[in-house]
Every structure is written in C-alpha cells, then in structure tokens.
Structure 1
Amino acid sequence: MRRTTTVEFVRGSVRGSRRRAVSTLPSLFTLANMFCGFAAILVSIRGAHETAAVLIGASVVFDIADGAVARLVGAVSPFGLQFDSLADLVSFGLAPALLAFTLFSEGRDEYDPLGWIACFLWLACAAIRLARFNTTVDPTADKRYFIGMPSPGAAGVVLASVFAFGDQMQGRDRLWVLLIVAVPALLMVSTVRFRSFRSLVSPRSGRPYGIIAAALVLAVGFATVPVVTGIAMAYGYLFAPVLVPLVSPLGRLVPTRVKELLT
C-alpha cells in the first residue's frame, strides 16, 4: 500500500512538472519577442537601421507564435495576456519609435521637436492600443476583427518603409516621412476594423490549405523580391479597410469549391 502511494505521488509530481513546463512555453516565446525588441533598440542607437528592422520583424513572428502555442497547449492565462502586452510595448512601441527617430534625425543630437512629437505619438498610441485591448476583452465580439490597427501590423509599415525608402527617410527636410509614423499610429487608436489572422494560425483549423498557400507565396516572395513583398504586405494591410470593400465583389468570380478549400 505504501509503495503504491509512493508511486502515485511520484507520477503526480512528474505530471505536475510537465504541466508547469508546458504552461511556461508560451512565455518563452513572449520573452524572445521582448528580447528582439530590446536588441532592435540597441542597434538602432548604433545606426544599424536595417538590422533593427529585421529584429522587430522577428518580434512579430514570436508574437504570433506565442499566441498559437498558448492555444495549442491550453495555457492561455491573464498573466500571459499582460506579459504579452508588456513585451509588445517594447517591441512594437519603443523599438519602432526609436528606429524611426534615429533614421529621421540621422543620429544628430541637436533639438528636434518635430521628430520627438511624431515618435512619441507612436509610443503613446501603441500604449493606448494595448491597454484598450486588455481592458475591453469581449467574449461575444467578432474574433475575426481587431478594433484599431494591431501594433505588429503598424510596426510592419515602419519596417517595410525602412527597407524600401531608407535612403529617402534620412533627414528632417523630408516631412512626408512623418506620415509613415503618424498614420499607422493614429490607426492603432482608431475604431477602424482590421482583419485578424489568429484563426489562420489556430491549431484547431481543420483545413489549413489557405494558410499553407499563403505561406508558400510569402516564402517565394521574400526569397526573390523581399522588399516588394514586404511593402505589399505592410501597405496592403494598412489600406485593407478601404481596399477590401472595393475588391470583395471580385470574390464572386472565384469558384465555390476553391473558397471552401481556402477557408
């Protein structure tokens, strides 16, 4: 009897350890997200703007992964939600703001009120966006959409612009560059609906044909024309609320069978 009790105790301890290990797995992805954002800040200060953009892009990947892993292992928790938001504020609030500022000011130390205001606007809007998202979680809301542009999507506009227009973005005499910061920042705190792609990366998707096809297209695009692919993704998502209603009538031309396979 004593031996049986001991065996059950050991088995319970092992199962408990496994559960704790599994529950911390999403937080490791969140930590990697924060690390990449922090590293992007450091290299931005040193003037390595493209490296910083790549690191913020890696943060986007880890941010998507931590949510998918949390749903996969059933480890969604209030702690994970708050930790993810803090990491996002570093990676998609501070890091893009500092990247834009260092690129826009060309590393000068002189007073630059316009750059300060524009980049602080980004940081403030990102913080408000994340705080609003955490405090207005509605179980009955349509999970297919975000209210306001998500901060990773807004950061993607800055990243794509760094690679595509990096040379033209340097210098305070080009005021149009501020639109790259101001427009996505204001959209983050707007009430415009943006499509959520969480369902596409959900482990419960019964027919992942759409995400597989999209992943293949993106892989080929980034391997062959990375700048064009990045611009198409970032600015396509930025203007999606305007473009989708215009393009959606063309969906009637797609055969029903194809729609069923991709959805």
Structure 2
Amino acid sequence: MDHETQTEQQPADRQDDHRRRKAIYLLPNLITTGALFAGFFAIVMAVQDNFVPAAIAVFVAMLLDGMDGRVARMTGTESEFGIQYDSLSDVISFGIAPALIVYLWSLQGMGDRWGMLGAFVFAAAAAIRLARFNVQVETVDKGYFVGLASPAAAAVLMGMVWFFEAHDIPFEAQQGWVWVITITTGLLMVSSFPYFSGKRLSPRLRVSFLSLPIAIIVFVLLLKDFALTLWVLASAYALSAPLWTLTRGLRRRLKRPAS
C-alpha cells in the first residue's frame, strides 16, 4: 500500500470516529427518556391532585432507571452522553417530582415558607447527591453508595404518599411529621453514610436459611398491601446505614475499656 492510499484512509477513519462521537445509542437512552417521562407525568398528576398515580409514576421511573444502565452494559452501548442524560433525568424524576408531590400533597398546608423550604431541601439534596456521585463514581467502593441514593429517597416519600392516599388516611394533615420525614430523607442523601448498593450480588451468593422465610414474608406482604410494603422497605433501607454506623460506634466504645 503506497503513501497516497494511506493518507486517503486516515481522513476516512477520522470521519468515522467523529460520526461515532456525534451519534448516541438508541436503546439505553430511550429507556432513560421513558424514566424522564414518568417523572414528568408524576408532576402533571400531582398538579391535578391525583397523588396515587403521581407516586406510582415515580416508582415506574425507578424501574426504568434501573434498566437503562444494565441494558447499556449488557449491549456494550455505554457512553458519556448516556451517563449525563441519566443524571439529568434522575434530578427531575427523583428530586423535583417527589419534592413537588409532597409539597402539593401536604407541605403547602403549613401556611408559611417552611413547607416550601422542606420540599426545596429535598430537591437540592437530590441534585447535590447526583453531582457528587458522578464525581466520585471512579473512586468509591462499588459495593456501597456514599449517602442514600436518590431513587431510594424518592421511594420513602412516594411510598408514604401512596399508602396514606390509597387507604384514605389523612396523614397529609400532619405537616410537621411530613416535613421532618422530607428533610431527614434529603439530608441522608448528602450524608456520608455507606449504603449497600447490591451491585456485588450474584446468583451464586450464599445466604443464611433465615433469608428464605424473610423473603416469603415480604412476598406475602406485597400481595397483602403493596404500597405499605414498599414504604416500609424503603424506610428500613434509609435507616439501615445510620443504625449500622451507630451500632458499630457503640461497639467500639464498649471494647475500649475492656482493652
């Protein structure tokens, strides 16, 4: 091959590379778009005072959000665009949407700016949490999240709204408790508590025999009251890291006098 032929192929290769950089992968980004639409739909439903469909839409966004990354890894279609697009979608679906739903559902009844402040703290914490995750994604342990993940935080609030609305329990009148739950969940997102991510789970993982009856109980509860079970599981996960950290600290203090 002569020099002239080589110079003709090099610009062609560069053009192909440039086209690949400009193109985006359809399948994972289509799933991300579905999650974004679910978050947008949740906001529309909340504005119309349809809080149960709004909460369910956020859970649908969680399901789609868990799919897009896995599909991208399985099909080899990961991209920087997909990562950034997913983060922007998460801010809306798991930050803005839950904050607005809780505000319209309960916090606006506080009659002053405290309700708006509580909702904004949650929304801002979700944005900060996602920005920090993008910065630390290559440096932190894959087995743990630093701070409560935004989908899990949204599940706490949306599980609460879904359960009380589905059972016609006027918990939205308890603005003080709703405010505390919203603020606490938001602060857990920007905390440094280590939360188990589940990324190291595999089909060959061995667990104790107690895990099987627990799984059966959870399955029965899901059939009995789906909304309550989701809320309890999300709340238990949100509290797991602070309780584990507190328990570990107490154990260390008790061991010091003995040593």
C-alpha distance in 1 between matches for 2:206 and 2:38: 30
Which residue, out of 33, 36, 41, partners 1:39?
41
Task: Give 2:4's aligned residue.
Answer: none
Q: Which runs of 5+ in 1 are unaligned?
A: 1-15, 249-263
- Compared with structure 1, are the counterparts of its residues 191 and 243 closer, same or farther at alpha carbon in structure 2 (3 Å cutoff)? closer
Q: Deviations over 1:194-247 (max 9, x none)?
A: 1102344xxxx453788xx79887655422221331122111111111455799
C-alpha distance in 1 between matches for 2:131 and 2:170: 34
Matched residue type, 1:197: G
Matched pairs, number: 221
Secondary structure of the corresponding residue to residue 239 of structure 1: helix
Q: Which runs of 5+ in 2 are unaligned?
A: 1-18, 249-259
C-alpha distance in 1 between matches for 2:69 and 2:204: 19
Establish whether residue 29 from structure 1 lines up as the match of residue 31 from structure 2. Answer: yes
Task: Give 2:118's aligned residue.
Answer: 118
After the TM superposition, which of the residue ranges 227-236 and 63-72 deviates more from structure 2? 227-236
C-alpha distance in 1 between matches for 2:28 and 2:206: 25
Q: Following TM superposition, by how much is the alpha carbon of 1:189 offset from its aligned partner in structure 2, in angstroms?
A: 0.7
Matched residue type, 2:223: A
- Compared with structure 1, are the counterparts of its residues 174 and 206 closer, same or farther at alpha carbon in structure 2 (3 Å cutoff)? closer
Q: Following TM superposition, by how much is the alpha carbon of 1:163 offset from its aligned partner in structure 2, in angstroms?
A: 2.5
Q: Following TM superposition, by how much is the alpha carbon of 1:98 offset from its aligned partner in structure 2, in angstroms?
A: 0.6
Secondary structure of the corresponding residue to residue 182 of structure 1: helix
> RMSD in angstroms over aligned alpha carbons?
3.1
Secondary structure of the corresponding residue to residue 207 of structure 1: coil
**TM-score normalised to the size of structure 2?**
0.75
Identity %: 35
Give the greater-gyration-radius structure (CA). Answer: 2
Which residue, out of 66, 80, 83, partners 2:82?
80
- Compared with structure 1, are the counterparts of its residues 61 and 216 closer, same or farther at alpha carbon in structure 2 (3 Å cutoff)? farther
On the 8 A contact 1:105/1:112 being kept in 2, the answer is: no
